[in-house]
Amino acid sequence: MNLREKTTLGRTGLRTSRLGLAPGVETRDVERAFEQGVNYLYWGSLRKPAFGQGIANLAPKHRGEMIVVVQSYTRAGWMMEGSLDRALKKLRIEYADFLLLGWWQSEPPARILDAALELKAKGKARHLLISCHNRPLFQSLAANPAYGAVMVRYNAAHPGAEREAFPVLGDPKPGVVSYTATRWGALLDPKHTPAGEPVPRGSDCYRFALTNPSVDVCLTGANNAAQLDEALAALDRGPMTADELAWMKRVGASVRGAAVLETGNAPIQLLDRLVCGKKSLPRPS
């Protein structure tokens, strides 16, 4: 497995880099990542102008090589087109390769899916992508031909997708995009690393996800040039050996154990409140 080589993103037929870039870095670093082969660019809920400018700068010459994802968290179908139109205008592109329906823990209602499919019919989005934390739902999502790809949380501290999501994706499977590879940095924190074990690097976290044959793309939310360099190093370091995977899972188990002892998980709780207006969801394994 050569992580520098592009792969086919499930049944969409799109050729994607193994690493995807989410907002965080400056304009020049978006362009630099693309120069190093990263063509999966995620315009999510944190629509940072500098990141968007990087996409806009690349599009005139390279639009056909890019996979641009635009996320929608709306729970009102009539609001979806305006949100997408604003994103396309900001990025100075005519369509999104993926319209992402974000943070659904049950099947989206007809009003949402119908609105998304209408935008696809209008040519404003080529494919639909859906993200979910409710792993048992992935079997039905994968079976729905409306979705070209699914987005699942997967890292060494949250490996449950290996049991509950990846085995039920079917054939041909949708594209699979993983995220939270570093578990919001907890996997890189020495205080959570078992005694006598090496502390993982950022690139180790991306390598862990990308070594799983079910994962097509692993997102990085690098916040600066140094973090981007570390993420890109994963592509050159390549997939993990069996011993390295076992080491990462030992660290992940330690991180997960520490999380159980905490009174709450602030990043998850905050996002749950912003997106769902609910208390934090149960923390999966």
Residue 125's pLDDT band, with cuts at 50, 70 and 90, is very high
In a domain, 71, yes or no: yes
pLDDT value at residue 44: 79
Confidence category of residue 280, pLDDT binned at 50, 70, 90: very low
- Taking the whole predicted model, whether its pTM rises above 0.85 is answered as yes
Give the C-alpha separation, 149 to 76, whole Å.
22
Query: Which of the pair, 273 or 22, is modelled with greater confidence?
Result: 22
2 within domain boundaries: no
> Facing residues of 153 across strands?
179
Answer whether residue 26 is part of any domain: yes
Q: Give the mean pLDDT of 119-135.
A: 97
Tell me if 285 is assigned to some domain.
Answer: no
pLDDT at 226: 97
The reply to whether 283 falls in a domain is no
- 136-153 pLDDT, tens digit per residue, is 999 999 999 999 999 999
Burial 239-277 (b: 16+ CB within 10 A, else e): bbeeebbebbeebbebbbeebeeeeebeebeebbeeeee
Average pLDDT rounded to a whole number, residues 240-254: 98
Number of Cα atoms under 13 Å in the Cβ half of residue 18: 27
User: Which pLDDT band, with edges at 50, 70 and 90, does 262 fall under?
Assistant: low
Above 70 in pLDDT, residue 135? Answer: yes
Q: Per residue in 82-114, is it b (16+ CB within 10 Å) or e — as a string?
A: ebbeebbebbebebbbbbbbbbbeeebeeebbe
Average pLDDT over residues 152-180: 96
Q: Is residue 282 part of a domain?
A: no
Please write the tens of the pLDDT for every residue from 70-79: 999 999 999 9
Query: In this predicted structure, what is the pLDDT of residue 182?
Result: 97
Q: Is residue 239 part of a domain?
A: yes
Mean pLDDT of the chain, nearest integer = 91
Average pLDDT for residues 82-110, to the nearest whole number?
Answer: 96
Structural domain boundaries, residue 42: 7-276
CATH of the domain at 51: 3.20.20.100
Count of structural domains, the chain: 1
pLDDT digits (tens, 9 = 90+) for 2-24: 999 999 999 999 999 999 999 99
Q: Which residue has the higher pLDDT, 265 or 184?
A: 184
Question: What is the per-residue pLDDT for 48?
Answer: 86
Q: Is residue 81 scored above 90 in pLDDT?
A: yes
Kindly state whether residue 103 falls inside one of the protein's structural domains: yes
